[in-house]
Structure 1
């Protein structure tokens, strides 16, 4: 079994091991290479959009699958919120089993249906299946359902380390693909016929799409909107979420395990007495994408954890219909540990603001550490 806490705990384990073998740290590069991402030729861009065209319905059906225990927060909620905003497809969040879904590293939700319920309602399957990172890559129910959906001609989209789940479902043989920078070596070792593509945030090959790290689900969602409803619609949604300039360009060398990254993981983990819990008040109508990005970012500092609170028990419904369960019932939160309300901030702006606030509290190295985990391009993170 490949049990893991979706990158976060894996990095922590390596960081703690480095305390014992400290000399290893000094063999790491001091900084990643940072260069302008290479341009993408128009014919390649057109081919990517064409490969993502709806395979079955004029108004596509998009299913986002997760397991109930620790599916990655932003991988799961960001595609849902962006695609629902666009209103160009029917989008549903699924879990393998009944009951709430614990997202990682933050938030708890009520999925809209189980895979069994979905199959009963849609025996011909979805047009697209979005596969986030999960706490285990080999969940038998998830893998079999993904295989079945692929056999029904759904386009399978592995977001971030969700590519490992797609690979374990047997769908990466001989295909071009990518994944989160931290998992590239593992994915290539486990699936040697897969052909890794660098410098692309989104790769599509014969009914299977994969992306780089967590924040890549934002341009991926816009590419999907373009394939369904055209470039103008995708541009409009991009402006609405605060990402007016987007495509699949990526500088892979910008994201790698460096000495500052390792030292920040070690230092922030070791300072356990200074760890903090920050509250986000959960309100009806909150933008689920902005909430996911802010909670995710603050929960990756290794110094803090974001939790939601509400004045009453019971789920609060997000802007686009996700029922979010508060972590705590409270009428207030200590002011010094209360995160600003997400409000109506655009998702990209909400993330940039969160990174700026993390810098103010913990310094630039921790912000870089978080951005590296999110695989968020530095030219965005530092704007």
Structure 2
């Protein structure tokens, strides 16, 4: 597991505890208030859509991951939204055979390996979606992404998937963005990248990047609009319960702050009070809701969401993905059972999960999770 994933798991934060008594903690800024960002101009919006136009009338979208660790929401949320829209053929891929273990939770069976995809589609994909992965230098995935770009695919780095895309060299000289937590190292390691602040989505010459884990939702809707028009994107947004979306973002609101550090340290130290919360895995579950709920409850440093089902067999989701339960159980103790997934539109699942986290662990922990996800909690434009 890389330093990036250790940091989110709490192990790296635990290493900071010995210096809390010094001045380090007090050098961190206080939490930043959200600033109202000006609307995206029609010219910028139109240019983004033009840059995202597909090769085919019925596009082919490939979501690629490495088997041993790929980010949960980055991998599942674009799949669920784009499959729901039915404006493209969407496939999940892995670099090798077997399931993909997702971080921080879930394990899925991809549709194919990258080798099988290449054999079936020698002309390549229209879009390749690149989630965050446990390592940014996997040679198989880097070579495959480069080859897809050469064949005319638009490469879409979701969240810290922008680090993987940067490792291919495709971002050199291009405008781009990525998750706030990795921004400094990303820029230090790739100085030719032209970082763009205050944008959820940045597109430059066939490569798109996004800020934060939660940005895969507006990115997916933007792809739908580029493929099938605004009316279709709005219909999908209504179906998933999203009141509005665009590329606006307040980058300054997401940073390593004193409240963030204190919550991480406090929750890490409360190791005796950590919980495993059950999340029922049922046939037909919505992938977006499942990913958001499981991901957010597994980032509190107080809890981990464990999917369970009556058998060890994979469960087929709403759009045909096969997900393996982590635990075989017919039921879960009521005091540690998470609410059923799918009772509300998917876009509201994260808000509900954060409300549940606040009720169980306090507002600081809910804010801590939202900042990890780079999610503008409580603001209309997501």
TM-score class, shorter-chain normalisation, is over 0.9
Sort the Cα spacing of 1:5 and 1:236 in 2 relative to 1 into closer, same or farther, 3 A: farther
Partner residue of 2:2?
4
Structure 1 position 8, deviation (Å): 5.6
Q: Map 1:327-342 onto structure 2 (within 5 A).
A: 327-342=326-341
d(CA) in 2 for partners of 1:14 and 1:278? 23
d(CA) in 1 for partners of 2:11 and 2:348? 32
Q: Map 1:294-333 onto structure 2 (within 5 A).
A: 294-333=293-332
d(CA) in 1 for partners of 2:270 and 2:11? 15
Partner residue of 1:175?
174
Structure 1 position 7, deviation (Å): 4.5
Give yes or no for contact 2:3–2:12 (8 Å, CA) kept in 1: no
Partner residue of 1:46?
46
Structure 1 position 12, deviation (Å): 2.9
Sort the Cα spacing of 1:229 and 1:6 in 2 relative to 1 into closer, same or farther, 3 A: farther
Which contiguous aligned blocks of 4+ residues in structure 1 show a shift greater than 6 angstroms? none
Indicate yes or no: 2:285 matched with 1:280.
no
Indicate yes or no: 2:11 matched with 1:19.
no
Q: Map 1:142-157 onto structure 2 (within 5 A).
A: 142-157=141-156
Deviates more, 1:11-20 or 1:30-39: 11-20
Task: After superposition, give the CA deviation of every residue in 1:292-342 in whole Å (9 maximum; x if it has no partner).
Answer: 000000000000000100012201100001100000111110000000111
Partner residue of 1:91?
90
Partner residue of 2:32?
32
Task: After superposition, give the CA deviation of every residue in 1:24-79 in whole Å (9 maximum; x if it has no partner).
Answer: 0111012124211222111001100110111x211000000000011000000000
d(CA) in 2 for partners of 1:231 and 1:125? 26
d(CA) in 1 for partners of 2:115 and 2:51? 28
Give yes or no for contact 2:351–2:377 (8 Å, CA) kept in 1: no
Structure 1 position 187, deviation (Å): 1.1
Partner residue of 1:371?
370
Give yes or no for contact 1:70–1:135 (8 Å, CA) kept in 2: yes
d(CA) in 2 for partners of 1:287 and 1:6? 28
Q: Map 1:118-197 onto structure 2 (within 5 A).
A: 118-197=117-196
Q: Secondary structure of 2:91's partner?
A: strand
Structure 1 position 179, deviation (Å): 0.3
Deviates more, 1:239-248 or 1:367-376: 239-248
Task: After superposition, give the CA deviation of every residue in 1:89-137 in whole Å (9 maximum; x if it has no partner).
Answer: 0000000000111100011110110000000000110000000000000
Indicate yes or no: 2:254 matched with 1:248.
no
Give yes or no for contact 2:224–2:233 (8 Å, CA) kept in 1: yes
Q: Secondary structure of 2:15's partner?
A: helix
Partner residue of 1:66?
65
Partner residue of 1:270?
269
Q: Name stretches of at least 5 consecutive residues in structure 2 with no aligned partner.
A: none
Structure 1 position 14, deviation (Å): 4.6
d(CA) in 2 for partners of 1:11 and 1:288? 23
Indicate yes or no: 2:74 matched with 1:75.
yes
d(CA) in 2 for partners of 1:167 and 1:324? 30
Could you state the TM-score of these two structures normalised by the residue count of structure 1?
0.97
Give yes or no for contact 1:240–1:346 (8 Å, CA) kept in 2: yes
Partner residue of 1:109?
108
d(CA) in 1 for partners of 2:244 and 2:27? 37
Q: Secondary structure of 1:65's partner?
A: strand
d(CA) in 2 for partners of 1:106 and 1:123? 33
Q: Secondary structure of 2:243's partner?
A: coil
Q: How many residues of Structure 1 are paired with residues of Structure 2 in the alignment? A: 380
Q: Name stretches of at least 5 consecutive residues in structure 1 with no aligned partner.
A: none
Give yes or no for contact 1:5–1:70 (8 Å, CA) kept in 2: no
Structure 1 position 212, deviation (Å): 0.1
Partner residue of 2:220?
221
Give yes or no for contact 1:94–1:112 (8 Å, CA) kept in 2: yes
